[in-house]
Amino acid sequence: MDTGFERAPVGILEVSADGVVRAVNDAAKTILAVVPDDVTGKGIDAAFPASVEGRVPQAFETPPDAERSFEEYYPSLDRWLAVDLVPAGETVYVYLRDETDKHRRTKRLESLESDLHRLTIGNELIADILGELVAASTREEIAETICRHLGETDIYEFAWVGEREIGSGDIVVRAAAGTTGRTLDRIKEALDGDVELPELRAVERGEPTVVPSLGEDESVPKGIRRAAFADGLGALLAVPLTYGSSVYGVVGVYTAEKQGFSERERRSFGTVGEMAGFAINATRNRSLLVSDRIVELTFRLSDPDSPFVAVAGETDGRIDVTGLIPQGDRLLCYIDAEAERETTEEIASALVDHGSVIGTRTVAEYEGSGSIEVFLSTETPLGQLVSQGGTVQSATFGTDGNRVVVELPPAEDIRRIADAITRRYDAEVLAKQERQRDEQTTAEFRNALTSRLTDRQEDALRTAFFADYFESPRGSSAEEVAEALGITGPTLLHHLRAGQAKLLEELLEATDRRADPGRSTTDG
């Protein structure tokens, strides 16, 4: 055999014009992973494994009469091969080069360019969304803003936003945009039933959840997998709408590409979820603060599963809620409790026996009464009312009746809130009153003072106050108040000092302004 042929740096096969292999050099043997003796004297398809287009065998269906060049991918070899056919009389020389590395580099470059394109567009989208969320005044605007930007772009197929239903915690679709196809219909059906969805897992965990391959992930309901395949959807990113530890809802973003969401996108969308949750919380509070009218609902509760109703009935006593501090998935309550036969400790112990009570601590005990710190699940009447942006004005439980008075802005769906509470709990609406705000209400005065506080400073001050930290002697130590808030003692003291300084500054400036209306607050 010709030494040059055998030692050539490229793969060479010597083939007859009708496609019979005559010789295979060492490089071709390595590239094709064949034994020369096994393929010599056989058809060309014995030397070449199957490929998608099968161009080499096709080229010998009639004797080649001109040079041809092409590249093909061979799955069994996991290689891209460049093939040149050079006819020379009754012989055809087949030259081979392994171009796999070149194709992989090209693929990586295309992937990087695609990621850069998606990242650039995604960052622009997120910037636009965040800008509009700041100005959104209703939950509907928030949902529509998110869906419009994400669903009407060329990198995502569609998006939908779900929100927690009042009184049940179920997720209902509030807005959707893009080419939803059959997938959104299957999602709605799953939400109406008892089916686990990736979006619901994101709500439960409070963090973004990625499904990189919708058609292959068996944790996705079969109906949704089939619809996603039919609609050409490859991947899903579910992002919870969170504020602190509260989860108000979820946004589901669908793309046509498998593995379509990078780690950067997941982090960026996490920011969108946090901003949307912040905006939802702000709209609820803003509606109550800026409205010149308010709706006051008075509920009578008779539900034996409500711990305050049950314990007040068991002890023939009275429970008054003096303070409420929302803490995400729980509600920190301070109550004054009195009973003729039971001590405050016994009342606290009786409350702990109820499933919706997470924990209690006796703050102070007086003759015939006492103050108790109670951690309640939000899956209680008070928790549901507070989570919907209501302000509980009073809540009293005892032999004289179990009544809760809550204020809501007129913009809220009052009937839906009332129906949700009365449907889920043994409760009824005793009175509904819409009234004009007083020219200067206590709430407005309080809000003017607290507007300068951060959320953490306000929570620290409220908790310390209701826990009798400022009493002498103190009803709670700094460590006990810090534990109730889930922070350290030094952090609590930092928030208390900063908050007290702001309140005193505001109070003293207000006093100075009343004493001398012409005096500027910037005067030395």
Closest CA to 148 of 134, 162, 129: 129
- Reported confidence tier of residue 111, pLDDT bands at 50, 70, 90: low
pLDDT at 503 over 70: yes
Neighbours of 29 (CB within 10 A): 16
DSSP codes, 347-391: HHHHHHTSTTEEEEEEEEEETTEEEEEEEEESSSHHHHHHHTT-E
**Same-domain check for residues 209 and 192:** yes
515 vs 392, residue with greater confidence: 392
Q: Among 437, 463, 485, give the residue marking a domain's end.
A: 437
* Pure H helices in 136-262: 139-151, 183-192, 198-205, 222-230
- Do both 269 and 338 map to the same domain? no
What's this model's pTM, rounded to 2 decimal places? 0.50
Tens of pLDDT, residue by residue over 169-185, are 678 888 999 888 899 99
Average pLDDT over every residue of 364-375: 86
Say which amino acid occupies 293: R
Q: In this structure, are 351 and 456 located in the same domain?
A: no
For the ranges 205-209, 291-295, 315-319, the one whose mean pLDDT is highest: 315-319
Q: Residue 452: which pLDDT band, with cuts at 50, 70 and 90?
A: confident
| Same domain, yes or no: 402 and 460 | no
Q: Which of 69, 96, 100 is nearest to 10 (CA)?
A: 96
Same domain, 250 and 308: no
pLDDT of residue 393: 87
pLDDT class for 35, splitting at 50, 70, 90?
very high
Answer whether the bond into residue 410 is a cis peptide, omega within 30°.
no
The secondary element (H helix, E strand) that includes residue 466 is helix 455-466
Instruction: Say yes or no: 144 and 241 in one domain.
Output: yes
Tokens linked to 307: 């711990």
Q: How confident is the model at residue 514 (pLDDT cuts 50, 70, 90)?
A: very low
pLDDT for residue 246 is more than 80: no
pLDDT computed for residue 455 by the predictor: 80
pLDDT in the model for residue 94? 93
pLDDT value for 27: 92
More confident residue, 470 or 3: 470
Tell which of 437, 471, 499 closes a domain. Answer: 437
Q: Are residues 269 and 326 in the same domain?
A: no
* More confident call, 474 vs 137: 474
Note the pLDDT of residue 119.
Answer: 63
User: Which residue would you say has higher pLDDT here, 112 or 287?
Assistant: 112
- Cβ(487)–Cβ(459) under 8 Å? no
Last residue of a domain, one of 226, 256, 288: 288
Residue 439 is predicted with a pLDDT of 46
Same domain, yes or no: 319 and 237: no
| Same domain, yes or no: 83 and 213 | no
The whole-number average pLDDT for the span 17-35 is: 92
167: left (phi over 0), alpha (psi -120 to 50) or beta: left
Question: Domain check: are 410 and 476 in the same one?
Answer: no
Task: Report d(CA 139, CA 121) in Å as an integer.
Answer: 25
Pick from 470, 521, 472: nearest CA to 499 = 470
Which residues on neighbouring strands pair with residue 249, listed in sequence order? Answer: 163, 241
Res. 194: pLDDT tops 60: yes
Q: State yes or no: pLDDT of 84 exceeds 80.
A: yes
Token pair, residue 99, equals: 């171009």
Q: Are 140 and 175 in contact (CB under 8 A)?
A: yes
User: For residue 284, what pLDDT is reported?
Assistant: 62
Is 173 found in the same domain as 24? no
In the predicted structure, residue 58 carries a pLDDT above the cut 70: yes
Which has the higher per-residue pLDDT, 129 or 30? 30
Which of 129 and 332 is assigned the larger pLDDT?
332
Calculate mean pLDDT across residues 311-327. Answer: 88
Query: Which is more confident, 446 or 455?
Result: 455
My answer on whether 279 and 309 are in the same domain is no
Q: How far apart are CA 295 and CA 409, in angstroms?
A: 6
162: Cα within 13 Å, side-chain hemisphere: 27
By DSSP bridging, strand 293-301 and strand 21-24 are unpaired
Q: What is the mean pLDDT of residues 21-37?
A: 92
Model confidence at 285: pLDDT above 90: no
Higher-pLDDT residue of 396, 6: 396
Residue 522 has pLDDT above 70, yes or no: no
What is the CATH classification number for the domain harbouring 500? 1.10.10
Structural domain span for residue 488: 442-524
Residue 360 has what pLDDT?
Answer: 92
Please give the mean pLDDT across all residues of the chain: 82
Determine the pLDDT at residue 277: 79
Strand order in 246-255's β-sheet? 171-178, 158-164, 246-255, 235-243, 209-211
Number of domains comprising the chain:
4
% of the chain surpassing 70 pLDDT:
85
**Closest Cα to residue 277, out of 363, 187, 206, 198?**
206
187: left (phi over 0), alpha (psi -120 to 50) or beta: alpha
**CATH code for the domain of 112:** 3.30.450.40
Q: pLDDT category, 407, cuts 50, 70, 90?
A: confident
Range of weakest confidence among 267-281, 292-306, 422-436: 267-281
Confidence bin at 450 (pLDDT 50/70/90): low
Angle between helical axes of 489-515 and 442-450 (0-180°, round to 10): 120
